[in-house]
A and B are shown apart, each in its own frame.
Chain A
């Protein structure tokens, strides 16, 4: 719907400006509120302190991490050394010569001519033992658990 023009007689004259518009208030520079120079100094010092504190903290944390890493490395080295010592100690303890010596001290004697008893049926223990044995034609898989135990 388009606008309908107002009839001429109904039109009212635009009100005439009777008074002069007021002049704009004169702008003037308002002085910024004065801040004490010490405030800037304090802020600067604070920022500086925070920066220094942050840097020192970061350095300290880094140093702490480095120290912890060094301690862990030392602990690993120490554990490896202990492991090697224990490995050798175990090998010394189960050395056949030592076991024979201890057995002799306990009064055991070596059988001159062993007597063999054929087993008429397979015992469960034999089957379990067969899993652990290491034969000449062993593959890598069969030796692995033994080596893993040994180190």
Chain B
């Protein structure tokens, strides 16, 4: 028994004391626990339903707002090429530097309620950026000190500059790409090409005229980005590629254009003129090979661009052509059979018509002239006599047939139509004044086009500046070629050309300075008084020369207008400019010279002989000097 008690005692000491819960307590607690879990699960499910179902759209929208980005992709603006594929205008990638001014100001700290220091030192930022951007430090400081969240510090800087700014890693400074229009020729054809605004929209010239074709269609890119701003590589991405604008091929020949601009500028300087214009047309096609105005404007210097400087004078400015018009009067008279080139006339130096007296440029006794000599000597009196034979109606008809008083049709912005009064509004002096190129207004392009009609054997072709577009395969997609319209017979045209050739190479011609080495030239000088804005005529003159070459088969027409030169005569001022431009135009057109000169072989023989003689002389001199120098 002792052992049994001991065991009982030990058992009572070592065994844990188990306490039986009251009946049902465990089950109740389990139930509560289960209910609690259930409640939590219900809460979670409820929240899930709220998030995923009830407010799903809202949260999806918020997420998308934070994650999705939509970029508008600007279309590459089309390029402008000259007729040989040389670039006249192109868009390049530039960079725009912007800043978030908040990064340079103390900002409230939402966590502590205090103030956070600026993320970046404004002074250091300005010091780093000013030399790179070429902007005054004060200007930069003013911009980043200003209010707002986004200010532009510099637009369209070079891509390399943008990269340098990016590498600085400045807080609050951003760099975004932006296309910039570049005009590599600077002043070359600037008034013709026109210009875009800083956003790349054409505002003048061909840039404006062909805006729709050049602009293209912008595209867009939708993508997802991470919190740090980088695109999520595997995220959703939707791209609508932009459609680039058309590349346009102009009819301009860059070399001829350059020559025309240089000559125009030199002419303005030489004759202290207020301006000059030159138009070069290709006969047969109507292609405008050059259209120059002086003074010109550099498209690379935006600050120098003004509407007045961008004026394409050859198309937008009207002038009274003066004696240049006599070729048209002559063509009309010849076509209508009023005269022939050999018709002899007694011409005084004065004539009274409609109560006004018209005189020639110089006094002379009554003399007998052929009609050709009347034109070649630019006799106002003789021309008026022929015009009187022609009559108002017929002269008005021919002015209309040659396209005066209506736009030429190149579609250039601001193209002037010229002024020709309706024949019913003519009065006593209208006929004589218009016959000699006064009281009628036209653009230089109109004058050139009328002469191109004569050069093209009497068939008028609408001038064109746009040759075509560049197709996707790089080939030229030529624009429509309009049919020509016969204005006068080829015989009349040839006769007028021969008459006009006498202006240049005739003994009494007024345009001798327009002669071109190796080619026969036909043309007409013009010296016209400038109309005054207040009515009547001002004291200024316009000197002109319009002509073509070669006479037998004209390939090029050149028209020159010099505004208010200090020497007024077209034969003195405009004719030399014509000759220089025509020389270059014929060379570019590879027109073989007509005149015979020393052959290349004989010239080379002469040159070798000259070199040999020079060497002999040097050799002799050297030996003499060497002998003299020897001890």
Contacts and interface: CB of A to CB of B under 8 A. Distances in A.
Interface in A11-51: none
B529 interface: no
A115 B596 CA distance: 11
Interface string B164-188: 0000000000000000001011111
B262 A116 contact: no
Interface string B590-608: 1001011111110100000
Interface in A90-106: 90-92, 94-97, 100
A120 to B, nearest CB: 5
A116 B517 contact: yes
B93 A85 contact: yes
Contacts of A151: 79, 87, 90
Interface in B205-263: 231, 233-234, 249, 254-255, 258-259, 261-262
B79 A81 contact: no
Contacts of A135: 589-590
B234 A116 contact: no
A118 B476 contact: no
A75 interface: no
Interface residues of A, number: 47
A151 to B, nearest CB: 7
A104 B287 CA distance: 31
B85 interface: yes
Nearest to B258: A96
Given A84-B90, A95-B186, A117-B598, A140 B231 contact: no
Given A87-B87, A97-B188, A136-B287, A120 B600 contact: yes
B285 interface: yes
Contacts of B601: 120
Interface string A103-121: 0000000000111111110
Contacts of A63: 233-234
B475 A143 contact: yes
Given A62-B234, A95-B186, A144 B476 contact: yes
A150 B81 contact: yes
Contacts of B320: none
Contact of B85 (A84, A120, A150): A150
A143 B249 contact: yes
B83 A115 contact: no
A6 interface: no
Given A87-B90, A116-B517, A151-B87, A92 B184 contact: yes
Contacts of B561: none
B233 A66 contact: yes
Interface string B275-287: 0000000101101
A134 B249 CA distance: 13
B92 A81 contact: yes
B84 interface: yes
A52 interface: no
B86 interface: yes
Given A117-B603, A150-B86, A95 B185 contact: yes
A64 B234 CA distance: 9
Nearest to A112: B580
B304 interface: no
B596 A147 contact: no
B480 to A, nearest CB: 14
Contact of B475 (A119, A134, A144, A149): A144
B249 A116 contact: no
A149 B188 CA distance: 21
Contacts of A115: 517, 597-598
A79 B214 CA distance: 22
Nearest to B177: A81
A19 B11 CA distance: 66
B39 interface: no
A137 interface: yes
Contact of B478 (A70, A134, A140): A140
A125 B156 CA distance: 45
Contacts of A89: 184
Given A95-B186, A116-B517, A134 B476 contact: no
A116 B184 contact: no
A150 B603 CA distance: 38
Interface of A: 59, 62-64, 66-67, 70, 80-81, 84-85, 87-92, 94-97, 100, 113-120, 133-141, 143-144, 146-151
23 contacts: A59-B234, A62-B233, A64-B233, A67-B233, A84-B90, A84-B93, A85-B93, A88-B87, A91-B88, A96-B258, A97-B188, A97-B258, A100-B262, A116-B593, A118-B593, A118-B599, A119-B599, A135-B590, A136-B285, A143-B249, A148-B474, A149-B85, A150-B86
Given A115-B517, A119-B600, 9 more contacts: A62-B234, A63-B234, A70-B233, A88-B184, A91-B88, A133-B590, A144-B476, A147-B81, A151-B90
Q: 5 tightest CB-CB pairs across the interface, nearest first?
A: A66-B233, A91-B184, A146-B85, A81-B93, A96-B258
